[in-house]
Every structure is written in C-alpha cells, then in structure tokens.
Amino acid sequence: MAVLIASVEHGSPAARARIRAGDTLVSINGREITDVLDYRFYIPDTKLILVIRRADKEKTVRLHKREFEEIGLGFDTYLMDKQRSCRNNCIFCFIDQLPPGMRESLYFKDDDSRLSFLFGNYITLTNLTEHEISRIIEMHISPINISVHTTNPDLRCRMMNNRFAGERLDILRRFVEAGLTIQCQLVLVPGYNDGEELQRSLDDLAAYAPQVRSVAAVPVGLTKYRDGLTPIRPFTKEEAQDVIRRMTAVGDAMRERVGSRVFYPADEWFILAEQPIPDAEFYEDYPQLENGVGMLALLREQFNEALDVWDEQPGGERVVVASGVAAAPYIRELIAAARAKYPTLNAEVIAIKNDFFGERITVSGLVTGGDLIRQLQDIAMDRLLIPANMLRQQGDCFLDDVTVEQVERALDTTVEIVTETDGEQLLAAVMNKQ
C-alpha cells in the first residue's frame, strides 16, 4: 500500500528533493507508509530515505533536515486514508438517538485507533486488525483510550450487538502486558452493566493497574428519539449512590496499592445521587475531564481561588450565564459567593432546558442555539456567557447549526465564550474584566 501526495510545501525539504504533487509515498527508511501514524512515527529523524513512485517507476530520495522538522508533504485527508466507522450497534449509542435533519457528519460513528492516539477519541477494539495491534505495541502508542463498558465477554457482546466484542477484550490484556498506558470508560446502563456487573468490571480493570491509569464511569444518555431502540430507563437516585459507593471503595483501595485513585465517577452521578461534588483533591490530576469527571470541582476550585484575591468592583452590566440543567445549581453557588463579596454584581445563572434532545439530557455540552434563543428571548441582558462545550470543536456553531452570531442577533446581546473548567475566566467574565 502507498499514499498519494496531494501537495508539496514550497521551500520544504521535500520540495528541495524535487518531490511533486501526484507522486506516491511508498516508504520511509524502509518502512511501508499506510497512514498518518506510520508517517508521523518515522519522519522525526534527521536523515530520511524515501521511496517515491512516479509514473509506475520507483526512485529513492534522501532527505536531510532538522529533528522534528516537517518534510513538507500534504495529503488529501489528515489520516491519509478513510476514517474508520464503528462496527457495533450498541444499545446505548447516542448517535442512534439523534433527531433527523442534522448535518451529515454528526451521524458518523467513528471507531478509529488513530484518532484515539491523535485526539483522545475512545475505541471499542472491535475494529483493530492484527497488523494495527502489532503496530500500536511496536510504536508504544500511549495513552490508548478504550470504551470497555463491561469486562463480561457475553454481556459486552449483548450490549454492543457484536458477537466478537467479548473476545476483543483480550487486546486490552495484550496492551497491558506491552506496558502501554490505557484510559478506560464505562457507559453504564441500568439493569445491564451496573450493580454486580459493574463490580466485576472494576475488579477486573483494577488488576491491570497501573497500566490502566484511569477508568471513568458515565451514565447512559437518553434523548427523546428512542423509538424502535432497546428500552432503557434512567438511573434512580439509589442506583447512582450505588455506583458512587462501588467506585469510591475500589478507588480508595487503589490509592493504597498504586498511589492513585484510578476509578472516577462522572459528575453526573453525584448530581443524580444528590450528593456533594468531591473536593478537587479527589480527582488528583484530572485524568478524565473529557468524560465530565471533576469538571465542576475544577471550576469551583479555580473560581474560589480567583475570588479570594479579586480586588476590583464589577461592571454595571447585566450578565446572564447560560448552563445545562445539571450544572446550573453549582454555578449559582459560585455566583452567589461572588455577590456576597460584591453586592452590586448583576449576574444571573439560567438553566437551559433541553427541548431539542429531550429533558433527560441535562449537560451543557448538548444545549443548542435554538433552545438558547427560545428560552432567553424575554430576558434582558447586556452580555450572555456560554461554556465553550456548547459549541462544536471549531467553535463556530451549536449542534443544531445555529451560529453564535445568530444568537447575538436574536437576543440583541453580546455572547462571550468561557472554558467550562476555567473558574478564573468565568469570574473575570462575570465581573466584566477580560
């Protein structure tokens, strides 16, 4: 296999070696190049021998460059081939619960090991070939982010609707034995992989520490678009308390054994259980923030630290902080603390009910622009603060394709975007000092 070169940067080492767009990259230093991982792994060297194919003839090109300097080749796609889609049909898949009419890219289910390494995406292991497994071990790619869900092979097959899902757990063992660092997630579904099945998964994964560096458990997300899908109910308060109890107990034991908690319930569990969010120390170095683990604790810690040293009066503008329903009470506590120190602060937190996906979706990251406009259209404000996770990765629009500019026009206000875990930035925005 070889990769077509789409462009060559002017003045680059590749350009100086007279490599052209339309050539095909066959190998680097004797290693076949099939995708971005191969390419990125082999180009840091200062001396490279490239085999280039042009018009069915191969030639050898020698490059000399600075260490880690880019050689100047461009390809049609970042991955240098097609992104790999998921082969599973999980009973809890969020994409299956999306409403019709959204942009096409949102319906794509990725399960690509290269994106796990490059961008932190989670993979199920069901897509990996033996070549890819061996390459990950040889390159010592870490961390690998794995969606485990359960360590019971039969249950994993049933939950993922893939008859090979159970046996693929053996790849996790191979990665552990190779010394790779692994981060795991468990999407819990009541009546399936909670309770004693959760305990089994926790105990099995605990045996893999410290190679398994962290394990996050998150509750299944349920939208109102589940017609024809496996019936799933939400977790009860008591079930959420059980999840916290089990994960905390195993985490306490892991701190004694390996010096790290390893197991972390997502913030949603504490909200469902009506229990306080733990202090920041509970989350150590926050290894699973992307799974909503410790976000509220980090926000609170940074906000309070910044408030302790803040010595400027707030501006006179009326500020509205928009939040998902789940986080709103916690953000209100922060604003109340700021108002206790500065009584003239004119700020309000408004929880945005998720009409787009359904009221069971309470996280800020799934609030849409349309819901913002409809629920805030009668609220007077000078500035609207929203967390960055309400917007897609490019930061230009919400999940319903409404843009920030459209929200500003509809509400006749200025929208300011605040990092959802940056308490100091939130305080500065509320106090009208950027």
Task: Judge whether residue 83 has pLDDT over 70.
Answer: no
Architecture per CATH, domain 3-74, reads as Roll (2.30)
Domain with CATH 3.40.50 in the chain: 298-430
What fold characterizes domain 298-430?
Answer: Rossmann fold (3.40.50)
Q: How much of the chain exceeds pLDDT 90, in percent? A: 75
Q: How far is CA 171 from CA 122, 123, 125, 128, 166, in A?
A: 14, 12, 7, 9, 10
Bridge partners of 219, per DSSP, are: 188
In which residue ranges of the chain is CATH 2.30.42.10 found? Answer: 3-74
Query: Does 139 have pLDDT greater than 60?
Result: yes
Q: What is the pTM of this model?
A: 0.85
Residue 147 pLDDT grade (very low, low, confident, very high; cuts 50, 70, 90): very high
Helix ranges restricted to H, 216-291: 237-258, 267-273
Q: What is the mean pLDDT of the chain?
A: 91
Mean pLDDT within 351-363: 95
Calculate mean pLDDT across residues 125-132: 88
In the chain, list all ranges with CATH 3.80.30.10: 95-291
Beta strands in 331-400 (DSSP E): 347-352, 383-387
Confidence of residue 432 (pLDDT cuts 50, 70, 90): confident
How far is C-alpha 143 from the chain's CA centre? 14
Mean pLDDT of the region 93-108? 83
| Count of beta carbons in the 10 Å neighbourhood of residue 69 | 13
Sign of CA dihedral 360, 197, 161, 84: positive
- Give 367's pLDDT tier (boundaries 50, 70, 90): very high
Q: How far apart are the first and last CA of the chain?
A: 52
* Cα separation values, 228 from 98, 224, 225, 354, Å: 13, 12, 9, 22
Question: Is residue 143 reached through a cis peptide bond, with omega within 30 degrees of 0 on the bond before it?
Answer: yes
3-state DSSP assignment of residue 241: helix
- Lowest-confidence segment of 2-16, 111-125, 362-376, 413-427 by average pLDDT: 111-125
Sequence-separated (6 or more) residues with CB below 8 Å from residue 356: 99, 366, 368, 370, 371, 399, 400
Report which of 281, 315, 275, 322 is spatially closest to residue 300, judged by C-alpha positions: 281
b/e map of 8-42 (b: 16 or more CB within 10 Å)? beeebbbeebebeeebbbbbbeeeebbbbbbbebb
- Binned at pLDDT 50, 70 and 90, residue 81 comes out as low
Pick the CATH number of 95-291 from 3.80.30.10, 3.40.250.10, 3.30.460.20, 3.40.630.40: 3.80.30.10
- Give yes or no for residue 84 having a pLDDT over 70: no
